[in-house]
Chain A
Amino acid sequence: MHNSETRKVKFKGVYCQYAPKLTAFATEYVIRREDAENIVQDVFAILWENWDTYGNHGNLMAFLFITVKNKCIDFIRRQAIADSWSTQQQEEYALTLRSNLYALDSLPDDVVNETNIQNRIDKAIASLPPRCREIFVKNKIEGMKQKDIARELGISVNTVESQMAIAYRILRDELRDLLPLLVFFLA
């Protein structure tokens, strides 16, 4: 009994630490948030069932990341990207999924194994101009909507968007050696 209690507490800790990150990651590729949530829930269900095998895994994040990534690939393949679409939205959805499949396929499994990746990204974010960084952190790290950021800071949504674009350009330059396909074509 005691053992299953510790197990539960540990599992909940892992869930709370990683589920929001993994959901944000999956949303980036499968587009719809509810699909991303389902994928992440499935992966945590696997972890729940196999806690004895994976629970004390040295690099739990690496395991979760690879499993989520593979589930996203499965999900996109299953969506059976059709050649004809009845609406423009469907066509855009299917084409985006197809492009994202290329992205997932070229994303290395060991990218999160890099112990310094978090530091690298933190540092890169810290190097953003103050205003730009504030907007970027509110949006990407804290998960605030652009509309709400605009209202809170008393600026237009357009400004938020352009600051985000600037942030991405700087981050891309800072992190270019992290991904094999972060080969940049200067604008």
Chain B
Amino acid sequence: MDNRLQKFFSGELSGSERIALLQEICRNEDLRNEYVSARNLRGLISLEKSSGDMDRLNREYDKFESMQRTRRRYQIVRAFMRYAAVIAITLVGCLVVPAFFMGEEGDLHCAVEVPAGQHSIVRLPDGSTVYLNSASTLSYPGRFKNGTRRVELAGEGYFKVAHDSGRPFIVTLGDVEIKVLGTTFNARYYSGEETRISLLEGSVSVSCRNSKPVILRPMQALTLQDGKAIVESFDSDDEFLWRDGIIVFDRETLAAICSRLENYYGIKIDIQSPSLEDITFTGKFRLIDGPSEILRILSRITPFSIGYPDGQNAICLKSI
């Protein structure tokens, strides 16, 4: 071993000699290895140190323990502060932000989206209630202003509109506008299906883009087919049963039934044999039965085969 290293460890070198040696250790690998060996030998031997004076050790330990307790208390205070901050931010968010957006200029917009295969109820700020069917979206302002109550629907909704003669309630379904004062009606507007508005109570006025508004009486329904409005009477409340999770088909073609199932469940149904499309069915099903079960039951009335292509959210129907 380098004589200087030995002197370094026994404290026999002067300050400048020590620095010169350390600088050389950083540059010279052999010397560095010697230093590393000597240092690590000392390190290992230091692990053999006895616990020494127990009184002193006890005092040291007590100090450590009280420090741990302080630390713990500090952590609890910090955790508490974190929760307090979350609550404060939430309060600011709930009270200040809406006030800001709902001021003179702004408007907080809400939208409720119902996933495929489920249904939901929305209570609007004016006291009206809307039942939303599967795969439907209702958008409405956080606060109705300017003397009207405007909402927008995609999908199917059953409206119980709170009476307010001063503020007409207007539902927009694509190009169609339904204007009501206070009444109960059902509106269906799914892509690829007929738009249908059925009135149970009161009166509604339905207008479509350029055409003259049509006034509906209770138990009348308006169906839009290829841009033409057809008004007819109905006598059963079957078409409103979806609010209880029941789907009703009343002399509907398989093609129409499949479009409805596609919209309700967000799936694709492919009728591969055209002869099947015009077969009509009448029946009631629970929404939770799901599309496979509904189609299986229909196929027992008029037989057709049901296939599930691999890796696709789709169902194929073929005549047998």
Instruction: Name B9-51 residues within 8 Å CB distance of A.
Output: 9-12, 15-16, 18-19, 22-23, 25-26, 30, 32-51
Interface string of A21-52 (1 = CB under 8 A from B): 11011011100000000000100110010000
- Chain B residues lying within 8 Å of A25, measured Cβ to Cβ, are 43, 46-47
Cα(A22)–Cα(B60), bound, Å: 14
Main SS at interface, chain B: helix
- Chain A residues lying within 8 Å of B41, measured Cβ to Cβ, are 168, 171-172, 175, 179, 182
B159 shortest CB reach to chain A, Å: 57
Does A155 count as interface, using CB distance less than 8 angstroms? no
Interface string of A68-94 (1 = CB under 8 A from B): 000000000000000000001101100
Does B106 count as interface, using CB distance less than 8 angstroms? no
Cα(A96)–Cα(B45), bound, Å: 19
Tell me whether B33 and A183 are in contact (CB under 8 A): yes
Tell me whether A185 and B64 are in contact (CB under 8 A): no
Count of inter-chain pairs, beta carbons less than 8 A: 150
Does B52 count as interface, using CB distance less than 8 angstroms? yes
Does B6 count as interface, using CB distance less than 8 angstroms? yes
A60 shortest CB reach to chain B, Å: 14
Among residues of B, the one whose C-beta sits closest to the C-beta of A182 is: B37
Question: Which of A45, A89, A140, A169 contacts B49, CB < 8 Å?
Answer: A140
Q: A88-B19, A106-B36 are in contact. Are A24 and B49 (CB under 8 A)?
A: yes
B34 shortest CB reach to chain A, Å: 6
Cα(A50)–Cα(B228), bound, Å: 74
Does A162 count as interface, using CB distance less than 8 angstroms? yes
Tell me whether A17 and B51 are in contact (CB under 8 A): yes
Tell me whether A91 and B10 are in contact (CB under 8 A): no
Tell me whether A179 and B26 are in contact (CB under 8 A): no
Does A129 count as interface, using CB distance less than 8 angstroms? no
Interface string of A130-154 (1 = CB under 8 A from B): 0000000000111100000000000
Cα(A96)–Cα(B18), bound, Å: 9
Tell me whether A99 and B39 are in contact (CB under 8 A): yes
A139 shortest CB reach to chain B, Å: 10
Tell me whether A117 and B44 are in contact (CB under 8 A): yes
Q: A121-B48, A143-B52 are in contact. Are A20 and B6 (CB under 8 A)?
A: no
- Chain A residues lying within 8 Å of B284, measured Cβ to Cβ, are none
- Chain A residues lying within 8 Å of B18, measured Cβ to Cβ, are 92
B149 shortest CB reach to chain A, Å: 57
Among residues of A, the one whose C-beta sits closest to the C-beta of B46 is: A24
Question: Which of A15, A95, A102, A121 contacts B44, CB < 8 Å?
Answer: A121
- Chain B residues lying within 8 Å of A89, measured Cβ to Cβ, are 15
Cα(A172)–Cα(B249), bound, Å: 94
Among residues of B, the one whose C-beta sits closest to the C-beta of A22 is: B47
A27 shortest CB reach to chain B, Å: 7
- Chain A residues lying within 8 Å of B47, measured Cβ to Cβ, are 21-22, 24-25, 65, 112
Does B237 count as interface, using CB distance less than 8 angstroms? no
Cα(A151)–Cα(B293), bound, Å: 98
B179 shortest CB reach to chain A, Å: 66
Among residues of B, the one whose C-beta sits closest to the C-beta of A25 is: B46
- 29 A–B contacts from the bound complex (CB under 8 Å): A15-B64, A19-B61, A21-B48, A25-B43, A25-B46, A27-B46, A28-B43, A28-B46, A44-B64, A45-B68, A88-B15, A91-B19, A95-B22, A96-B22, A98-B22, A103-B35, A107-B40, A107-B43, A121-B45, A125-B48, A141-B48, A168-B9, A169-B1, A171-B41, A179-B37, A184-B1, A185-B2, A187-B1, A187-B6
The 5 closest A-B pairs by CB, nearest first: A95-B22, A24-B46, A103-B39, A24-B49, A103-B36
19 additional contacts (CB under 8 A) given A45-B68, A121-B44? A15-B64, A16-B57, A19-B61, A20-B50, A20-B52, A24-B47, A29-B39, A44-B64, A48-B68, A92-B19, A95-B22, A98-B26, A122-B48, A142-B52, A164-B10, A165-B9, A168-B6, A179-B41, A185-B30
